[in-house]
């Protein structure tokens, strides 16, 4: 079976209730069980370890004044909820981006989403003097949206329209330009440097649920849009000509998927900073478990994203006690070798 035939064949098998579909259902249940275990670990482990029974007691019957219960509800519960939402958004956004660009190395940074959000935050600090993380979120989201719009507009120039290669090149150019401007501002303004670096390292610590209250709707809408693109991504994986021949409206499909990515990755970046590699690694793990059908890859990525991010956050709390490593650093340590392995595999495959 050729690479072109695989997605369509996988989709047919999934639709007929085959053993493959049953294995995927069991696999998704197993991933949900792992997620539940990671959620429990996120609430229980840290500078102060709390027994699992006490965690469950705190959730079901909180006693105000109980130190363990207060630690869980006031400190760990908010960062766990934020990690759950941010991880799911990044994992799902990465899967959509790899599907729409047909690029196994794509993540939310490919279309300049992270760089656009980071540039907007740096401008907010430098020009407007905003230093509160809660004040960053709308600037980060707007910057991500503007960067994605620029990338798509540049990539759509020409007869072929917004092809995957042109989108990737335009995203790289926008990222390089935004990074240069950010560096200039950081070198010329100490206040910007101090405020920006706390956000840009990528962390769940100190991220309250207030940001989710503001951006939760964007994440929900982006999630719904992304989960509805499974069939579209399967068709696009066959190539533009085949997808067009099967009646797919390519410009509309790319706009819808781009909106989903901006809402997901832009909101996640606004809340937790530009965390890298989650959107790269998670879809590859999901693909290894499900095969090439994006109707299965997307829900698996939705679950595996928070598994990776929350596990990294827990590891970061434990390795340098009484301090902690930011989740973004731990994810980068895991993601860098995975990136090398992906590049080697793609090179060996002759892609």
Q: In the chain, what are the domain boundaries?
A: 5-349
pLDDT confidence of residue 38: 95
Rg (CA), the chain: 21
pLDDT confidence of residue 248: 80
pLDDT confidence of residue 192: 73
pLDDT confidence of residue 85: 94
pTM, entire model: 0.84
Q: Spell out a b/e string for 292-301, using b for 16 or more CB atoms within 10 Å of the CB, else e.
A: bbbbbbbbbb
Write out the DSSP string of 286-335.
HHHHH-S-HHHHHHHHHHHHHHHHHHHHHHHHHHTTTS---HHHHHHHHH
Q: Which residues of the chain have pLDDT under 70?
A: 1-17, 110, 131-134, 160-164, 343, 345-351
pLDDT confidence of residue 295: 92
- Whether domain 5-349 has CATH 3.40.50.1370: no
pLDDT confidence of residue 39: 95
pLDDT confidence of residue 15: 46
Q: Spell out a b/e string for 207-223, using b for 16 or more CB atoms within 10 Å of the CB, else e.
A: beeebbebbeebbeebb
Determine if the peptide bond prior to 322 is cis (ω within 30°): yes
pLDDT confidence of residue 10: 47
pLDDT digits (tens, 9 = 90+) for 85-106: 999 999 999 999 888 888 777 7
């Amino acid at each position: 079976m050729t690479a072109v035939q695989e997605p369509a064949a996988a989709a047919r098998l999934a639709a007929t209730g085959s053993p493959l579909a049953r294995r995927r259902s069991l696999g998704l249940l197993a991933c949900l069980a792992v997620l539940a275990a990671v959620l429990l670990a996120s609430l229980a482990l840290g500078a102060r370890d709390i027994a699992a029974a006490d965690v469950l007691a705190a959730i079901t019957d909180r006693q105000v004044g109980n130190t363990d219960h207060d630690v869980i509800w006031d400190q760990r519960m908010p960062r766990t909820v934020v990690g759950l939402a941010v991880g799911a958004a990044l994992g799902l956004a990465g899967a959509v981006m790899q599907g729409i660009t047909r690029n196994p190395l794509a993540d939310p940074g490919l279309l300049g989403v992270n760089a656009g959000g980071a540039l907007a935050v740096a401008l907010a600090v430098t020009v407007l003097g905003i230093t509160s993380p809660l004040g960053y979120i709308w600037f980060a989201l707007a910057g991500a949206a503007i960067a994605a719009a620029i990338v798509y507009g540049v990539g759509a120039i020409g007869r072929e329209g917004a092809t995957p290669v042109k989108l990737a090149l335009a995203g790289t150019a926008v990222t390089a330009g935004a990074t240069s401007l950010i560096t200039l501002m950081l070198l010329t303004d100490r206040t910007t440097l101090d405020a920006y670096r706390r956000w840009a390292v990528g962390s769940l610590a100190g991220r309250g649920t207030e940001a989710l209250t503001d951006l939760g709707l964007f994440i929900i809408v982006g999630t719904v849009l992304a989960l509805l693109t499974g069939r579209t991504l399967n068709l696009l994986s066959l190539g533009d000509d085949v997808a067009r021949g099967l009646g797919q409206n390519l410009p509309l499909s790319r706009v819808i998927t781009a909106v989903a990515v901006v809402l997901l990755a832009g909101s996640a970046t606004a809340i937790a900073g530009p965390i890298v590699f989650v959107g790269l690694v998670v879809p590859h793990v999901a693909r290894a478990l499900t095969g090439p059908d994006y109707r299965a890859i997307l829900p698996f990525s939705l679950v595996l994203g928070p598994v990776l991010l929350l596990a990294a956050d827990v590891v970061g709390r434990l390795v340098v006690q009484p301090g902690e490593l930011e989740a973004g650093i731990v994810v980068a340590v895991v993601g860098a070798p995975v990136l090398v392995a992906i590049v080697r595999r793609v090179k060996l495959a002759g892609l």
